Copies of this chain bind each other. A is one copy, B any other.
């Protein structure tokens, strides 16, 4: 987490800093990104950076959190729009993110994030689907999901079901980016996998 000092910053200075972060983390993945570039670009002394953040990762995670927050809101909107239908909601979410990707605003940042996604970061994203923290706060989102059609008999199974959907969704996004698939191809692939998931990988007897 950024230090308090960062949050105390006047808005304009904070914006400049965020801008510089996005610039650098768009240029290179966490591994190769350099604090030196960030401070140069934001035109602040090196020492100041360490007043605001613990280090490179801290700043990186901060940027990601913002992205995740906005996706989470989007997902909740989708869920409500489709009366809690998980599959419709997730399809819509996927579509919107794919569209955002092709717009190419901060596409390079997302590219770097997705192609270098570790477990820690993937978890941040998976929480889009299952609420705030890990298994504890799994309730808010839970309440929005219509369970009538889902093949689950208890909360634990629901948790795993949501994990599965989240994982598959993210992997499909990653493949779209990595293989530079067209939006249509990506949507198609995702649809095939969602259908398999819904109907089951085993033949219905």
Q: A residues near B, CB below 8 A? A: 30-31, 114-120, 149-152, 156-157, 160-161, 163-165, 167-168, 171, 174, 178, 189, 192-193, 196-204
- Roughly how many angstroms separate A171 CA and B174 CA in the complex, as a whole number? 15
**What are some 30 contacts across the A-B interface (CB < 8 A)?**
A30-B31, A31-B31, A115-B120, A116-B118, A116-B119, A117-B119, A119-B174, A151-B196, A151-B200, A151-B201, A151-B203, A157-B192, A157-B196, A160-B189, A160-B193, A160-B196, A161-B196, A163-B171, A164-B168, A164-B196, A165-B201, A167-B168, A167-B171, A197-B200, A197-B201, A198-B201, A198-B202, A199-B202, A200-B202, A204-B204
Point out the residues of chain B lying under 8 angstroms from A201, CB to CB.
150-151, 161, 164-165, 197-198, 200
| Interface pair A203/B164, CB less than 8 Å apart | no
Task: Output the nearest chain B residue to A31 by Cβ-Cβ distance.
Answer: B31
| Interface pair B149/A203, CB less than 8 Å apart | yes
- Roughly how many angstroms separate A171 CA and B167 CA in the complex, as a whole number? 8
- Roughly how many angstroms separate A115 CA and B118 CA in the complex, as a whole number? 6
Residue A150 contacts which of B30, B157, B189, B202 (CB distance < 8 angstroms)?
A: B202
Identical subunits present? 2
- Roughly how many angstroms separate A150 CA and B156 CA in the complex, as a whole number? 26
- Roughly how many angstroms separate A149 CA and B201 CA in the complex, as a whole number? 9
Point out the residues of chain B lying under 8 angstroms from A202, CB to CB.
149-151, 198-200
- Roughly how many angstroms separate A193 CA and B196 CA in the complex, as a whole number? 14
Point out the residues of chain B lying under 8 angstroms from A157, CB to CB.
192, 196
Query: Shortest distance in angstroms between A184's beta carbon and chain B's nearest beta carbon?
Result: 15
- Roughly how many angstroms separate A115 CA and B171 CA in the complex, as a whole number? 16
